[in-house]
Amino acid sequence: MCLLMMDLDLFKKINDSYGHQAGDLVLCEMAQCLGKVFQNAEIIGRIGGEEFAVVMQNADIIQAFEKAEIFRNRLGLRKIQYGSDCIQVTVSIGIAAFNSGIKSFDELMRLADNALYQAKGQGRNRTAVEKVDSNVLKGNQ
């Protein structure tokens, strides 16, 4: 099982520039994209604000990474129409895999959140994995 934590990059700027209705539209677009990419056995939820989580059951870290990258790229290509404005967004994603050393779901969430902060710290619009050799995951920015 893997947990993906996602955060829309610079979401406050969208609300400040276009208003909260535009922000709501962006959140709806993100939810729709999540539903299309993670449609099989995954559990999708909004954690709060502009943060979402996906639980991928029966997936290893490589499968989770590949799916996260598909989602990140698809969302980044969307052009969200709000009135006469076209809004493009990016997302940062952190992934943690459940293993025998993890004692609770809260710990798994903390690890995925740490990876999310790594993705943001490395410049946003990327996927980061907690405690995995980066050579295993080809194509990460």
Q: Which residues are catalytic?
A: 50
Helices (H), 38-104: 61-77
Rounded to the nearest 10 degrees, the angle between the axes of helix 20-37 and helix 61-77 is 140
Q: Give the sign of the dihedral formed by CA 113, CA 129, CA 9, CA 46.
A: negative
Calpha distance 53→42 (Å, rounded): 10
User: Is the Cβ–Cβ distance between 19 and 11 less than 8 Å?
Assistant: no
Residue type, 123: G
